[in-house]
Amino acid sequence: MTRTTKTLSQLIRRENVRISEVVLTWQEAIRLAVEPLVSGGFVEERYVDGIIANTYEFGPYYVLCPDLALLHARPEQGVIAQQLAITILRKPVRFKPEGPDVRLLVALAAKDADSHIEVMRRLAVLLSDPIKLEQIAMASTEDEAFGLFIGTPSTAEHQL
């Protein structure tokens, strides 16, 4: 059985990138970040509830480092199709009282463990660069964030 490997640009749609000024709770942050996947038909609404329930049970396992959370649940918790969504928070959220602050939420819907690992590997390469992570978190528009994420610089970056 052969598996096709998708690039990051094939795993995210521009409409799945959003910037939000503030959320009041970590639960609201999860709902906001996963909403494009729900409305796009990539996950069922119960996927959001799965991430929140998993957080209560296991803690915020998806906070990978300061500023970055890779939100995901098990495929059987409501994944329909593989896709990513990015939410940038202008005011950081904390998933536990002692932190860290998180500004970049990447919501992942993976159909199986293999695709989950492959997407995580690609994201790790991209987001292990603190400069790239900061650039995405500080993007002034959704278009700029999308371009930085998939590796296509926007024209806004070159102005000044």
| pLDDT tens-place string over residues 73-116 | 999 999 999 999 999 999 999 999 998 999 999 999 988 877 76
Q: What percent of the chain has pLDDT over 70?
A: 89
CATH among 1.10.1740.10, 3.40.930.10, 3.40.50.2000, 3.40.50.720 for 8-150: 3.40.930.10
Report, as residue numbers or ranges, the catalytic residues. Answer: 72
Supply φ then ψ for residue 93, to 5 degrees.
-120, 155
- How many other CB atoms sit within 10 Å of the CB of residue 4? 5
Per-residue pLDDT of the chain (160 residues; tens, 9 = 90+): 344 456 777 789 999 999 999 999 999 999 999 999 999 999 999 999 999 999 999 999 999 889 999 999 999 999 999 999 999 999 999 999 998 999 999 999 988 877 767 777 778 788 888 899 999 999 999 999 999 988 865 433 333 2
**Global confidence as pTM:** 0.88
User: What's the pLDDT score for residue 159?
Assistant: 32
Q: Alpha helix locations (H) across the chain?
A: 8-11, 26-39, 45-58, 113-127, 130-137, 142-150
Domain boundaries, the chain: 8-150
Find how far residue 12's CA is from the centre of its chain: 10
